[in-house]
Chain A
Amino acid sequence: MKTLLTIAWRNIWRHPARSGVLIAAVVAGLWAGVVTVGVLNGMMDQRLNNLIESELTHIQVHHPEFLDEGYSRLFIEKVDEIAAFLKQDERVKAFTKRTITDGMLQSPVKTSGVRIRGIDSESETRTTNFHTNMMEGEYLDSSIPNAVIIGRTMANEHNMELGHRVVLTFEDVSNQLTSSAFNIVGIFESAGTDFDRRNVFVRSSDISSILYDKAVFHEIAIMLHDEPFAQSLAADINQNFSGITAQTWRELSPELNLIVEFGEVMLYLIMLIIMAALAFGILNTMLMALFERMREIGMLISIGMSRTRVFLMIMLEAIVLTLTGAAAGILLAIFSIRYLSSAGVNLERFAAGIAELGWDHMIYPIMSTPEYVTVVIMVIVITLLASLYPAAKAIRINPLEAAKDS
């Protein structure tokens, strides 16, 4: 075995240029593939975190029908018990209660349908980072009565500025239409223009007092210390409380979930393309090597080298050749990703439009250990598969090749 390895290793360096080209291709291919996957992972992850951290959060609790029906009478009954439960749970980082109702926003210019989100700016700030979207004015934390903050898009469409007044009209819990004047105290600009057109924020206490004679909440948004606990905590909440549904962000935002799964598919797709190129490279190089060595292998079979050993010899050569490159490529990729994950990759030059769609242009690539392991396993499997053919061809070489005139 050691001798076969020696032959394999020396045969590889018999044609330094040819082997060098294959090794360089393997290094470059794997490096590029892994870094691309890392960048994509980073993009997905940042996009996910943006949405989760700015508004969605890991888990939301609602009245079971609220999300479908939207009536303000579908509020959460046992809000205090749930709050007490969340306070003592170690998985919870922070949570906030929201009062939500659909209604109309009327300005001197026109009327638009909006979702009115009543928040408590103090607990909201502890839970989400939506406050970082504030462009002008304040985040409902002054004492101005009946304050509202609106999106930049909405402000432009209604030709409104800070200090202007708008009228919000909505149904209270007994389905009676009520209207109230609100003062614009802030303008925000979130990742999506559509969100900015359809959502306004008011104080939970202001809206709640109009809806009912006590404080009502339609949504509890919960951030966790670690995302993986979302599933189990949602299950615990559902088990402990009736008349509500706790859902994870995956259930709340199927399109976001899709992005995550798409990212995983991309990993395999990119790696598959690279593996196909790798297999082709191995086949090409090994068949060339084999063709030149017909006489030598014929001689080895003549003098009594078993076909098993010939098979092993060729397999080893292909494996050593590829894995030399693969090891270098993956090491290079690991170091690149480690560096880029703190330095970041600026995609602005390549994709100027992505920021408008709510994607960051500074990407911090991510590769997890299982992903590296997947890549390594794929390389090994492909190398073995691609070496099988040349090795199978080698053992069919006729010993009489040894005596042929060249």
Chain B
Amino acid sequence: MIIVETKNLSKVYNPDTVPVHALRDVNITIEKGEFTSIVGPSGSGKTTLLNMLGGLDKPTSGEVMVNGEKITGMKDSRLIDFRLKNIGFVFQHYNLIPVFTARENVSFIMLLQNRDKNEMMKRTDALLEQVGLGDRKDARPKEMSGGQQQRVAVARALASEPKFILADEPTANLDSNSAMNLLDIMERMNREEGVTFIFSTHDQRVIDRARRVIKMVDGAIAEDTLISVEAANQ
């Protein structure tokens, strides 16, 4: 089942002054349950691509389909609601709400979704346990390490039960232990719960964990490699 699909996706920054072709005719298809990494050198267009897939920015031409629905050209308010219901985000800088505890950060997105209170509390606790923060539920972001904060961010992204989770360089600010720990959690959620992850990175050890690697060069797809489960587990 196709979850995300792009058609001749192009993005030109500053078209009137110094045009930068950040994406050139990108056509990709992501299936449900994928654990896909977007790789490439700095400036190759990874962030731009993820922003397009997440409906955070508008392409210059081409279109993005999510779950069979065309999000390109969608009205802004509808797009925000669409993101709330369909897309999970994990940012490089964690971006938690600083005045909220881990628990409040995770349940906040479900509040935005107007979910049932009881279910929300249970789900929040369960998710924090799953990302290994059962004992840090009432900690505020500034009382947590970067790795812990990023795990809260993953729990938050999972909380909204999105069709897929976008993570732009989720490990870039983490030490390698925390990075591997985060990857373990993401991988487990993918394997056990079938959560689709699309993440960008230029860290080789993170790339090694992916089951599909899309390599970008100069805004275009240079390579698209599927790695068999067996190969990945070796």
Contacts and interface: CB of A to CB of B under 8 A. Distances in A.
A5 B92 CA distance: 28
A302 B89 contact: yes
B81 A306 contact: yes
B51 A400 contact: yes
Contacts of B108: 3
Contacts of A406: 93
Interface residues of A, number: 23
Contact of B84 (A295, A304, A402): A304
A373 interface: no
A10 interface: yes
Contact of A3 (B93, B111, B160): B111
B99 A304 contact: no
Contacts of A305: 80, 84, 112
Given A3-B111, A14-B98, A304 B83 contact: yes
Contacts of B57: 400
B36 to A, nearest CB: 19
B97 A7 contact: yes
Contacts of A399: 56
A51 to B, nearest CB: 59
B81 A11 contact: no
Given A296-B95, A403-B92, A302 B109 contact: no
Contacts of B160: 303-304
A303 B77 contact: no
A296 B81 CA distance: 18
Nearest to B157: A303
B106 to A, nearest CB: 12
Contacts of B67: none
A304 B97 contact: no
Contact of A295 (B51, B89, B95): B95
Contacts of A44: none
Contacts of B92: 403
Interface string A289-321: 000000110011111111101000000000000
A209 to B, nearest CB: 89
A306 B77 contact: yes
Contacts of A295: 93, 95
B51 A303 contact: no
A300 B156 CA distance: 12
B5 interface: no
Given A299-B91, A306-B80, A7 B100 contact: yes
Contacts of B89: 299, 302-303, 402
Interface string A151-162: 000000000000
A133 B84 CA distance: 81
A359 B147 CA distance: 73
Given A304-B109, A403-B168, A299 B95 contact: yes
A7 B93 contact: no
Contacts, number: 72
B27 interface: no
A155 to B, nearest CB: 77
Interface in B152-177: 156, 160, 168
A303 B56 contact: no
B99 A403 contact: no
Contacts of B54: 302
A403 B91 CA distance: 7
Contact of A304 (B47, B85, B91): B85
Interface in B58-102: 76-77, 80-81, 83-85, 87-89, 91-93, 95, 97-100
Contacts of B156: 303
A114 B8 CA distance: 104
Contacts of A402: 56, 89, 91, 93, 95
B77 A307 contact: yes
Q: Which of A7, A14, A296, A303 lies at the interface centre, i.e. has the most chain B CB atoms within 10 A of its CB?
A: A303
Q: Which of A302, A304, A306, A400 lies at the interface centre, i.e. has the most chain B CB atoms within 10 A of its CB?
A: A304
A296 B98 contact: yes
B216 to A, nearest CB: 17
B217 to A, nearest CB: 21
23 contacts: A6-B104, A7-B99, A11-B99, A295-B95, A299-B89, A302-B56, A302-B89, A302-B91, A303-B84, A303-B89, A303-B160, A304-B81, A304-B85, A304-B109, A306-B112, A307-B77, A399-B56, A400-B57, A402-B56, A402-B95, A403-B51, A403-B92, A406-B93
Q: Top 7 A-B pairs ranked by shortest CB distance?
A: A304-B84, A10-B99, A299-B95, A304-B83, A399-B56, A3-B111, A303-B89
Interface of B: 47, 51, 54, 56-57, 76-77, 80-81, 83-85, 87-89, 91-93, 95, 97-100, 104, 108-109, 111-113, 156, 160, 168
Given A3-B111, A295-B93, A403-B56, 12 more contacts: A299-B91, A299-B95, A302-B91, A303-B89, A303-B109, A303-B112, A304-B84, A305-B80, A306-B77, A309-B112, A400-B51, A403-B47
